[in-house]
């Protein structure tokens, strides 16, 4: 099965099985043992964080959060009851249906674009235009403890996606991409380099960086260069997170596929103190065979995500972890001649829960056929404000940049009050 190539994007030309095979080849073993319960409990009470699950390509709202069975564009799948009376979601998400009391749904998103790139950055930056920091960067800058032992914004993805995530904020808050569950390359020092020699070499580099940072035109470059070493040092100190294979029972729960392993790593990173961990699940750009692809993709996502959600809840971390399940847009209600759904930023959905979010709520609605927002229209601006208000950050305040007044959130938007706990 191959994707339609109409967008000239790599996702459209890769079969799901080929994609998974390639991902598996690049995905190594999982992570080490669990953080001690006392440490997890301390994190749960002292640090707020974000788990961001990005369903890349544009998951269909009609096959997930806003099903329309029996209508002209509804498709073949049923809507099922959830653990929250009155809320029904697609039968393709049976595990989430049982845990709906932990989550809420926004069914009235309209970003007014059908572009992958524009939709992605709008949903991440909370701004329609301009260069602004991503959700993870803002979280790393304002929520991460000064003594954080891991990089603040970590993105687990099996694709080489390049984004300017930090914009005008310091490079130390940019995303650090991990190649799936495998440890980053060159994570350990050469066998010929002693710990003392490594320490002295790093001190020399730091002194040279200080000298160059004072030169005209140099600070931004030097800071970026210096931060890469700082982030690398933090990972080196936590290399145990990437060593060893997950226990068989854990792989059975999460799944031995790349997404399962990636979510195990995501949990470990959150437990160990990372402020924002983003996990991308690829393969939702279903211009052809939409129903077959969603049947497979969501089956993989649904159970794995719920195992991660359960672990956060059981450890007490869910109360201080904002959980986001998002895409760059949704899929067209109208089904095309290849049994696919195309790009649709006009009326679609996402789910969120955890820290600061009222559970079991539904905000907004679409019309009977899902072709337009019928009530409480929102977009990336409102969602961005909502995320950080839930985490206790005042998004009407300005970024901490000397001599510049840049509001953290778009002043033309505001938080979705119905979602805030």
Q: What is the pLDDT of residues 174-197, one digit of tens each?
A: 999 998 887 776 666 566 667 677
Q: Does residue 362 form part of some domain?
A: yes
Q: Output the pLDDT for position 210.
A: 65
Q: Output the pLDDT for position 5.
A: 41
Average pLDDT rounded to a whole number, residues 212-241: 62
Residue identified by tokens 């997930």 is 64
Q: Does residue 213 form part of some domain?
A: no
Average pLDDT rounded to a whole number, residues 20-34: 36
Q: How confident is the model at residue 18 (pLDDT cuts 50, 70, 90)?
A: very low
Q: What is the pTM of this model?
A: 0.84
Range of the domain at 105: 10-183+243-419
Q: Does residue 259 form part of some domain?
A: yes
Q: Output the pLDDT for position 163.
A: 84
Q: Does residue 215 form part of some domain?
A: no
Q: Does residue 290 form part of some domain?
A: yes
Lowest pLDDT segment from 191-205, 212-226, 241-255: 212-226
Q: How confident is the model at residue 326 (pLDDT cuts 50, 70, 90)?
A: very high
Q: Output the pLDDT for position 215.
A: 54
Residues facing 350 on adjacent strands = 106
Q: Output the pLDDT for position 2.
A: 38
Lowest pLDDT segment from 111-125, 151-165, 250-264, 389-403: 151-165
Q: Does residue 225 form part of some domain?
A: no
Percent of the chain exceeding pLDDT 90 equals 69
Summarised one tens digit per residue, pLDDT across range 257-296 is 999 999 999 999 999 999 999 999 999 999 999 999 999 9
- Number of domains within the chain: 1
Q: Does residue 2 form part of some domain?
A: no
Percent of the chain exceeding pLDDT 70 equals 78
Q: Output the pLDDT for position 200.
A: 77
Q: Output the pLDDT for position 19.
A: 40
CATH of the domain at 75: 3.40.720
pLDDT at 42 over 60: no
Q: SS in 3 state form for the chain?
A: CCCCCCCCCHHHHCCHHHHHHHHHHHCCCCCCCCCCHHHHHHHHHHCCEEEEEEECCCCCHHHCCCCCCCCCCCCCCCEEECCCCCCEEECCCHHHHHCHHHEEEEEEECCCCCCHHHHHHHHHHCCCCCCCCCHHHHHHHHHCCCCCCCCCEEEEECCCCCCCCCCCCCHHHCCEEEECCCCCCCCCCCCCCCHHHHHHHHHHHHHHHHHHHCCCCCHHHHHHHHHHHHHHHHHHHCHHHHCCCCCHHHHHHHCCCHHHHHHHHHHHHHHHCCCEEEEEECCCCCCCCHHHHHHHHHHHHHHHHHHHHHHHHHHCHHHHEEEEEECCCEECCCCCCCCCCCEECCCEEEEEEECCECCCCEECEECCCCCCEEECCECHHHHHHHHHHHCCCCCCCECCCCCCCCECCCCCCCCCHHHEC
What are the angstrom distances between the C-alpha of 257 and each of 16, 25, 28, 143, 404? 13, 11, 11, 32, 46
Q: Output the pLDDT for position 45.
A: 56
- Is residue 122 within 8 Å of 378, Cβ to Cβ? no
pLDDT at 21 over 60: no
Q: How confident is the model at residue 242 (pLDDT cuts 50, 70, 90)?
A: confident
Average pLDDT rounded to a whole number, residues 42-64: 89
Q: Does residue 100 form part of some domain?
A: yes
pLDDT at 139 over 60: yes
- Which of the pair, 40 or 374, is modelled with greater confidence? 374
């Amino acid at each position: 099965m191959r994707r339609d190539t109409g967008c000239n994007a790599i996702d459209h030309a890769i079969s799901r099985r080929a994609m998974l095979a390639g991902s598996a080849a690049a995905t190594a073993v999982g992570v080490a043992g669990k953080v001690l319960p006392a440490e997890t409990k301390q994190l749960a009470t002292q640090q707020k964080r974000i788990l961001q699950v990005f369903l890349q390509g544009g998951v269909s709202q009609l096959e997930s959060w806003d099903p329309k069975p029996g209508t002209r564009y509804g498709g073949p799948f049923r809507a099922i009851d959830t653990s929250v009376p009155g809320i029904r979601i697609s039968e393709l998400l049976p595990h989430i249906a049982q845990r709906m009391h932990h989550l809420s749904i926004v069914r009235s998103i309209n970003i007014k674009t059908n572009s992958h790139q524009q939709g992605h950055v709008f949903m991440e930056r909370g701004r329609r235009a301009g260069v602004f920091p991503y959700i993870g960067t803002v979280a790393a800058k304002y929520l991460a403890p000064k003594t954080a032992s891991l990089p603040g914004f970590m993105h687990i993805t099996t694709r080489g996606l390049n984004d300017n995530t930090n914009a005008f904020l310091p490079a130390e808050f940019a995303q650090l991409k991990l190649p799936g569950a495998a440890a980053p390359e060159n994570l350990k020092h050469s066998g010929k380099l002693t710990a003392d020699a490594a320490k002295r070499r790093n001190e020399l580099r730091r002194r040279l960086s200080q000298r160059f940072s004072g030169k005209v035109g140099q600070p931004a470059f030097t800071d970026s260069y210096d931060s890469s070493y700082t982030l690398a040092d933090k990972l080196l100190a936590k290399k145990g997170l990437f060593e060893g294979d997950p226990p068989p029972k854990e792989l059975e729960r999460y799944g031995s596929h790349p997404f399962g392993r990636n979510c195990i790593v995501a949990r470990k990173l959150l437990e160990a103190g990372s402020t924002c961990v983003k996990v991308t699940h690829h393969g939702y750009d279903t211009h052809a065979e939409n129903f077959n692809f969603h049947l497979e993709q969501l089956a993989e996502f649904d159970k794995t995500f719920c195992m991660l959600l359960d672990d956060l809840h059981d450890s007490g971390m869910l109360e201080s972890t904002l959980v986001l399940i998002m895409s760059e847009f949704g899929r067209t209600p109208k089904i095309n001649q290849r049994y696919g759904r195309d790009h649709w930023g006009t009326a679609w959905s996402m789910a969120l829960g955890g820290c600061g979010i009222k559970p079991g709520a539904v905000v907004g609605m679409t019309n009977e056929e899902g072709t337009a927002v019928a009530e409480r229209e929102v977009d990336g601006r409102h969602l961005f404000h909502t995320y950080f208000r839930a985490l206790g950050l005042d998004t009407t305040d300005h970024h901490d940049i000397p001599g510049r007044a840049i509001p953290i959130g778009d002043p033309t938007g505001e938080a979705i009050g119905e979602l805030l706990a």
